[in-house]
Amino acid sequence: MLYLLEVMEKMAVNGSNPTNILVVDDEPDLELLISQKFRKKVRNNEFNFTFAHNGVEALAKLADNNVDIVLTDLNMPEMDGLTLISKLREQYPNTKSVIISAYGDMVNIRKALNHGAFDFLTKPIDFEDLEITISKTIVEVLALKQAELDREKLSIIERELDIAFQIQSSMVPRNFPAFPDRDEFDIFAKMYPAKHVGGDFFDFFLIDDYHLYFVIGDVSGKGVPAALFMAMSRTLIKAIALKGVPPDICLDDVNKILNLDNESSMFVTVFAGVLNTFTGEVKYCNAGHNPPYLIKKDGCVEELESTNSIALAITAEENLFSSKSIMLHPGDAIFLYTDGVTEATDSENILFSDDRLHNFLKTVSESSPTDIVNNVIEQVNAYSSDVMQADDITAMCFKFLK
């Protein structure tokens, strides 16, 4: 009775499509008996029966009909039921089969079950038992159909996420060297989302001939919501920065906009700055982000001073952002990153850590920005090679050359 209730619930969800049942048996009276027994269910569009007299005829009908369940005898001319069961498993894996046979065929019944048959009945047929068996089999068939639909939906989602990844990747600079005609500076960056898409971002662009704007950010959360918030944040920052306003004013304006409609209560940490490519001066604002490192030409490495500014989209209060400036000398570099770098863990859940990053950066002062970023990411990947990436990883480095 529980099976019947479950079937009724699943069929209600499944709609009015009948269960298609193919009966394969060389006994001429069986078709009449089944049609008579289940005439009400046929009339109510619950069951739809098709009949065949052997395995060859059954395979022909299977090719032309969407069959859910096959009820088959074992001993039949031309092709026996055991062969039919084997072909069903190969050609129609979502079609479930039920054996109907005499007591003397128990060895063959066991073989059929081992070949993928779902259940079996013995002759003479107990039609009440047959109805219960069909009901049980329908539950299995519907589960298989649902699993196939879920796989199809998952496949669609995977394809859409791949497209989303391509779109997100296209939003950040990808062509390097980024400014092959400029010899005053060099810049490089990479981003690795923990999922198909993520909340990290970076960007850099020239405001005019002498000012390079650079930004890195990390949205709270992961996946699609973070990616959407990332896209909005990055777009707003670039649109306002291109007006030539200082980093702190830019982030203040962006913060006001992000706070207008932020029902999801997401936020984003941002480090934004402007390099004067003529003098080497860098004006910057750190809005709750990991402090970048200044890598001096002599190998000294130090964190940039904080500007005591909070992350964007937390509150729309005024005067939350301030800026500082430093002077780079030829050969000095700035390394920026998201917390996916320092918070990567090994198999014992020990963090890569700020200290490990700091010490490693002391060894790369003579390297190019490309080598610095690639080497840091290689160090992180090697450190956490035995565990799944838990957070987005992004790193950017630029060097003032003259």
The 10s digit of each residue's pLDDT in 116-159 is 888 888 888 888 888 888 888 888 888 887 888 888 887 776 77
| Percent of the chain residues past pLDDT 90, beyond the cut | 48
The CATH code that applies to domain 173-400 is: 3.60.40.10
Which residues of the chain are in CATH 3.40.50.2300 domains? 2-150
| Percent of the chain residues past pLDDT 70, beyond the cut | 92
Nearest partner of 246 among 276, 284, 275, judged by Cα: 284
Q: What is the mean pLDDT of the chain?
A: 87
Which secondary structure element, helix H or strand E, spans residue 122, and what is its range?
Answer: strand 119-122
| Sheet of 185-192, strands arranged across | 185-192, 393-400, 333-337, 293-295, 301-303
Amino acid 164: pLDDT: 64
Residue 194, SS3 per DSSP: coil
Mean per-residue pLDDT, 99-103:
79
| Sheet of 96-101, strands arranged across | 47-52, 19-24, 69-72, 96-101, 119-122
pLDDT of 315 over the 80 cut: yes
Which residues of the chain are in CATH 3.60.40.10 domains? 173-400
254-286 tens-digit pLDDT: 999 999 877 778 899 999 999 999 999 999 999
Band of pLDDT at residue 161, cut at 50, 70 and 90 = low
Answering whether pTM is above 0.75, one says no
Amino acid 252: pLDDT: 95
Amino acid 392: pLDDT: 84
**Top-confidence residue, 57 or 275:** 275
| Cα–Cα distance for residue pair 241/77, rounded to 1 Å | 82
**Top-confidence residue, 274 or 64:** 274
The answer to whether 288 and 338 are in contact (CB under 8 A) is: no
Amino acid 225: pLDDT: 81
Amino acid 240: pLDDT: 96
pLDDT of 370 over the 80 cut: yes
At the top level of CATH, the class of 2-150 is alpha beta
199-213 tens-digit pLDDT: 789 999 999 999 999
Crossing angle for the helix pair 354-361 and 369-383, to the nearest 10 degrees: 140
Mean per-residue pLDDT, 352-364:
94
Amino acid 144: pLDDT: 82
**Top-confidence residue, 198 or 352:** 352
pLDDT of 2 over the 50 cut: no
Peptide bond into 124 cis (omega under 30): yes
